[in-house]
Structure 1
Amino acid sequence: MITTTEIHDVKTATGLMRTTLYRPDIRGQFATIIFYSEIFQQTAPIARSAAILASHGFVVLVPEVFHELNPIGTVLAYDDAGKDKGNADKWAKPLEHHDSDTCALVDFARAQPFCSDKLGAMGVCIGGHLAYRAALNPDISGAFCLYPTDIHSNTLPCDVGNDSLTCTNDMKSELVMVFGKQDPHVSKEGRQLIYQKLEQANANFTWLEVNAQHAFMRDEGERYDAALALQMYLQAVAFFHRVLN
């Protein structure tokens, strides 16, 4: 399916958020996937991932996750300077601001004539965490979370008791959680903690651990695993067709 791309500056509670929209280049209404990026924002690999999802019949929104902290259009490089800046942004933005961003994206999607009323969330790295966080929003029907960081460690700023691990007790959306066993950012003990919390919350979730490193979906760099990435795209597409369509 051929796709088309648009740029929108979405109004949020904390300022304008540049959002790239990918959608099928045909008439109709389609379910929406909010696709949360890594700390580097919308890099070329993130854009390609979004286009893949859109080509399967979805509207895909890619927001600049740190829009308050950078000029509009900022993309960080996959180098030490980019990593340092992205991590600094990650530790500076409260989860509550990410929550209000999600609310703004839901409202934006539902105002578009080509969007149905169904929304899901997907993300990689911190974006996986933000997809998990978005699944707490009752307007999000399902979330596909790829190697989400900082859930187990509670290292992102937020109000006391509003961290994502604690809020798992309020999880209503269906989840798919995917982790690489060789990922140094989420240890075995960290994965077990998240799994136990989801079990205790009686959450509706699928759990996958694969032999892969962190960022195995990113089609640049030595950690990319093309075979596993293809499997994840197929599983994500099937998941979203089921929970959104």
Structure 2
Amino acid sequence: MLVTKTFHDVPSALDANGRPVRIFVISPVIPGYPNAKFPGVVVFSEIYQVTGPVERFAGQIASHGYVVACPSVYHEFQGPEAIPYDVEGTDRGNRFKIEKEVSAYDEDAKLSVDLLTSLPNCNGRIASTGMCLGGHLAFRAAFDRRVLSSVCFFATDIHSATLGKGKTDDTLIRVRRGDLTNNGELVLIFGKQDTHVPRAGRDLIRKELEDANVIASFIEVQAQHAFIRDEESKGRWDAALTRSLFTFLLEVFERTVGRDLGEKSSDVAEPEHVC
């Protein structure tokens, strides 16, 4: 499908300076069907805001029939422009990451879902995804019961609980508390050579999800951090692996938000295994 891009400046109640959140929206277009409605997906960016790789990733999702919202996560500190993939930009993005309140990250997610559900071309069925910082934010977006599935690429800081101001996020605390139990489906994708999330960290996240009976898939591949980023990935981009995992993402989204299955029953029989 063809896509169009626009943006909405949405007021933030938690920004002391009164600056809005700019949320970029990429929408599919079907000629001759001006009233078509599509599921929505929130795409959370890495520490560089909505860069070219993030926009292309979001555009690919939109072209498969989803209205995609990409919030500018550092609106408290700067405008919506992308942060460069250089040393100064990396230092700035990492600094902002731990200066922003966790509650402000959550507000951005809520405002993005609110925006999608208000758009005339969105049918109200919402998923989320993201990479690096955005993988963690997509994980936290799953606490919102309106989000029916989340696919999180190499999510940072979950295992160490170091997201946001004070570097003391409550993501795994909320998992233990049951805030994801009986919510939507969760998928976590990590590279085994990712130095940001070591094996012990991955094992901890998997254990917490399983202990809390969260509906989750855990995928580990032979890749480094940022392997899906098609620009300035420092030699880590794996296009073939990215394509395979993008297909997996589409399967999850098609199954969870691409179809309206009606109300979920609590009485679900276990499937029979036939050899």
Q: Tell whether the structures are fold-level matches, with TM greater than 0.5.
A: yes
Q: Structure 1 residue 74: deviation in Å?
A: 2.3
Structure 1 residue 162: Cα displacement: 5.6
Deviation of 1:137 after TM superposition, in Å, equals 0.9
- 2:201 aligned with 1:199: no
Q: Which residue of 2 aligns with 1:138?
A: 145
Partners of 1:236 and 1:101 in 2: CA distance: 23
Query: Which stretch shifts more, 37-46 or 161-170?
Result: 161-170
Structure 2 letter corresponding to 1:64:
S
Aligned to 2:22: 18
Give CA deviations for 1:135-190 in whole Å, capped at 9, x if unaligned: 01111111000000000001113699861111113112210100000000000000
Aligned counterparts, 1:209-220, within 5 A = 209-220=220-231
The answer to whether the 8 A contact 1:35-1:61 is kept is yes
Q: Report whether the alignment pairs 1:87 with 2:98.
A: no
| Structure 1 counterpart of 2:62 | 54
Superimposed CA distance per residue, residues 17-46 of structure 1 (whole angstroms, 9 cap, x where no aligned partner):
111111111231111100000000011111
User: After the TM superposition, which of the residue ranges 143-152 and 153-162 deviates more from structure 2?
Assistant: 153-162
Give the drift of 1:214. 0.2
AA of the residue aligned to 2:60: I
3-state SS of 1:68 partner:
coil
- How far, CA to CA, are the matches of 2:169 and 2:54 in structure 1? 28
Over aligned residues, Cα RMSD in angstroms?
1.5
- Hey, what does 1:242 align to over in structure 2? 255
Of the structure 1 ranges 156-165 and 168-177, higher mean CA displacement relative to structure 2 is found in 156-165
The answer to whether the 8 A contact 1:120-1:142 is kept is: yes
Q: Secondary structure at the match of 2:98?
A: helix
Q: Structure 1: which 5+ residue stretches go unaligned? A: none
Please state if 1:33 is matched with 2:41: yes
**Count of paired positions:** 244
Pairs within 5 Å for 1:179-198:
179-198=190-209
TM-score by length of 1: 0.96
Task: Pick one of 153, 159, 163 that aligns with 1:156.
Answer: 163
**For residues 187 and 145 of structure 1, what CA distance do their matches in structure 2 show?**
16
Distance in 2 of aligned mates of 1:17 and 1:167? 26
1-structure distance, mates of 2:67, 2:39 = 6
State whether residues 8 and 24 of structure 2, in contact with CA within 8 Å, keep that contact through their aligned partners in structure 1. yes
- Determine which structure has more spread, i.e. the larger CA radius of gyration: 2
Structure 1 stretch displaced more, 142-151 or 167-176 = 167-176
Are the equivalent residues in 2 in contact too, given 1:96–1:158 (CA < 8 A)? no
Q: Structure 2 length normalisation: TM-score?
A: 0.86
Q: Following TM superposition, where does structure 1 have runs of at least 4 consecutive aligned residues deviating by more than 4 angstroms?
A: 158-162
* Residue of 74, 84, 90 corresponding to 1:77: 84
Partner of 1:6: 6
The residue type paired with residue 157 of structure 1 is G
Q: Who is 1:224 aligned against?
A: 237
Cα distance between partner residues in 1 of 2:168 and 2:192: 29
